[in-house]
């Protein structure tokens, strides 16, 4: 089931403790564009289908990545794309967005998403996996 845009952004705003919906949207756009570069095929399409249309399109038309980024490099890349961000604030942005995405995905799809990502992304999604 697709999450409504307002509900998605409200959840990101609350988790990121942003002052405005615009700040939440900016974070969501950057994080989803970077995430989309790491996912392929049916998994990316199924995840996109659970997101609001504007965010689904961002996930499906991602920024280009020459190689999969480690979780630490993903956070640094997020900081580079958000004006005025530091690694610390970018980590907050990533957590707010990806935990909201995890809720939209559900446990089964999230496990499939995590299989396509380098080790450690479970923590970025706020869903530590047993080792």
- The DSSP line for 27-72 is HHHHHHHHHHTT--HHHHHHHHHTS-HHHHHHHHSPPP-SSPPPHH
Q: What is the pLDDT of residues 41-100, one digit of tens each?
A: 999 999 999 999 999 999 999 777 778 899 999 999 999 999 999 999 999 999 999 999
Q: What is the pLDDT of residues 2-37, one digit of tens each?
A: 789 999 999 999 999 999 999 999 999 999 999 999
What average pLDDT does range 96-111 have in this prediction?
Answer: 97
105 torsion bin: left (phi>0), alpha (psi -120 to 50), beta (else): alpha
């Amino acid at each position: 089931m697709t999450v409504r845009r307002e509900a998605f952004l409200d959840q990101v705003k609350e988790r990121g403790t942003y002052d405005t919906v615009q700040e939440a949207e900016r974070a969501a756009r950057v994080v989803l564009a970077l995430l989309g570069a790491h996912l392929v095929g049916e998994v990316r399409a199924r995840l996109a289908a659970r997101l609001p249309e504007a965010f689904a399109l961002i996930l499906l038309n991602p920024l280009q990545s020459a190689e999969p980024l480690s979780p630490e490099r993903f956070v640094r890349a997020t900081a580079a794309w958000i004006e005025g961000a530091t690694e610390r604030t970018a980590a907050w942005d990533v957590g707010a967005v990806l935990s909201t995405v995890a809720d939209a995905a559900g446990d089964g799809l999230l496990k499939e998403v995590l299989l396509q990502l380098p080790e450690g992304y479970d923590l970025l999604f706020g869903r530590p996996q047993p080792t």
